[in-house]
Amino acid sequence: MHSKAIIVGSGIGGLSAAICLRLIGWRVRVLEQATEITEVGAGVQISPNGVKVLEQIGVMPLLDTVLFEPDTIEIRMGISGKKILEIPMKGLAIDRWGAQYIQIHRADLISALTARLSQLQPNAIQTGAKVVSYKHIPCGTEVTKADNTKERANLVIGADGIHSVIRNQMLGPDMARFTGNVAWRALVPLALLGDIAPPPTGCIWAGRKRHAVTTRVRAGSIVNFVGIIEQSDWQKEGWKVEGLKQDALTDFAGWDQRVLNVIKQAETLHKWALFDRKPLPYWHQKHVVLLGDAAHPMLPSMAQGAVQSIEDAYMLAQCLEEAEDDTIPNSSANYFAKRIKRVTRVQQVSAQNLRLFAEFLNTCTNFILCANVACWKVSSRLGSEAK
């Protein structure tokens, strides 16, 4: 059987889903609203549970020259820089969890996923294709795009992010919740930082009502900075705006010079509002299913949003492997049943971590869960490459 899937959104989740479905023999079509596939200038950490899937689906070889493997994951006090916890990673992650813990530029990950997809099925992605609605048809779904053209498939996968149109239609309009936190983000070439650079680790800098994370991307040549602060309101229309360097310096005034130097040397600093959503009662309706941030947006304090979307993609493909056109809804229900408990737990711990990092870490227990989530086992294998 060669079923067809339409995947709405070409983020990390959507592209992973397209690859996973292609590998079980489906034809795929990715509809992306943006006119070109670009990514924000930011880094992303992929823990071993995500790397295992990327290995299985043939993406890791395309990341070899651009990934960075941190020596450790550590927690330091934001002001004094004093180290209070360290978990060894480089070399040991493979022994303990069966795969590397990596840091990567989001654009590099997106290019690798796109390249892998085009090895499996050239021209699978259509850009400038904004989906506005869907309609159930016998044994499938029809989507309507903003230009009023329509396309049909046996399954539509809503991988269209936190403000998902597909989620909205499936579960009714509901605004994502502003969490009262905003994130500063910047990328700075290591060469600009001289001797005052954050360590080559995944470093969480903890402070009162704020924390920062520094990582390295592009084979270690760029420092990635995320600084999260509590802020009671968010008035801008877009959810990402360029911020003023002076505001970022004020937010982290008095902090370790290695953090401040990154802010000072940043050419551009972006500010993002952080949203989340309560766990949804279901992610599937007939021949439509949700995945990634569209299904379960989460705070970044466990570095798992993208990783969970990769896990979703893998699990969805596993559930669909034996499906016939008329049993696809059952497979989607099975996928939801297999994923909801784990993803809800990760959402909860991400929210707890945010509070812990911003309250001087009375206990590190939950942080350690962050590393332990990597224990997820890729239990069964995808079929061989799609014909």
Within positions 157 to 186, which residues make up the interface with ligand FAD, using CB under 6 A?
A: 159-161, 165, 183, 185
Written as six digits, the tokens of 384 are 């061989």
At closest approach, how far in Å is the CB of 326 from ligand FAD?
A: 27
CB closer to ligand FAD out of 9 and 140: 9
- 338-372 burial by CB neighbour count: b if 16+ within 10 A, else e? bbbebbeebbebbbbbbebbbeebeeeebbeebbe
CB closer to ligand FAD out of 27 and 130: 130
CB closer to ligand FAD out of 264 and 270: 270
What is the x/- site pattern for ligand FAD, positions 262-291, by CB under 6 A? ----------x-------------------
Residue type, 113: L
Written as six digits, the tokens of 339 are 């994923």
Chain centroid to CA 246:
29
Q: Is 31 in the site for ligand FAD (CB under 6 A)?
A: yes
Q: Is 241 in the site for ligand FAD (CB under 6 A)?
A: no
CB closer to ligand FAD out of 26 and 275: 275
At closest approach, how far in Å is the CB of 145 from ligand FAD?
A: 8
Phi, psi dihedral angles at 271 (to 5 degrees): -120, 130
Distance CA 101, CA 52 (A): 10
Sign of CA dihedral 270, 41, 190, 52: positive
Q: What is each CA distance from 324 to 16, 102, 327, 383, in whole angstroms? A: 22, 37, 5, 16
CB closer to ligand FAD out of 34 and 244: 34
At closest approach, how far in Å is the CB of 327 from ligand FAD?
A: 26
Q: Is 307 in the site for ligand FAD (CB under 6 A)?
A: yes
CB closer to ligand FAD out of 50 and 140: 50
Q: What DSSP designation does 238 have?
A: S
CB 227 within 8 A of CB 184: yes
Q: Is 130 in the site for ligand FAD (CB under 6 A)?
A: yes
Q: Is 13 in the site for ligand FAD (CB under 6 A)?
A: yes
At closest approach, how far in Å is the CB of 352 from ligand FAD?
A: 16
- Select from 20, 23, 44, 73 the one that contacts ligand FAD (CB under 6 A): 44
Site size toward ligand FAD (CB under 6 A) is 33
CB closer to ligand FAD out of 279 and 325: 279
Q: Is 293 in the site for ligand FAD (CB under 6 A)?
A: yes
* Interface segment toward ligand FAD; rule CB under 6 A; list 10-18, 66-74, 319-327, 354-362: 10-18
How many other C-beta atoms can be found within 10 angstroms of the C-beta atom of residue 179? Answer: 18
Q: What DSSP designation does 381 have?
A: P
- Say if residue 225 is exposed, middle or buried (CB neighbours under 10 Å; 0-12, 13-18, 19+): buried
SS3 335: helix
Site residues for ligand FAD per CB under 6 A: 8-14, 31-34, 44-45, 130-131, 159-161, 165, 183, 185, 226, 272, 292-294, 300, 303-307, 309
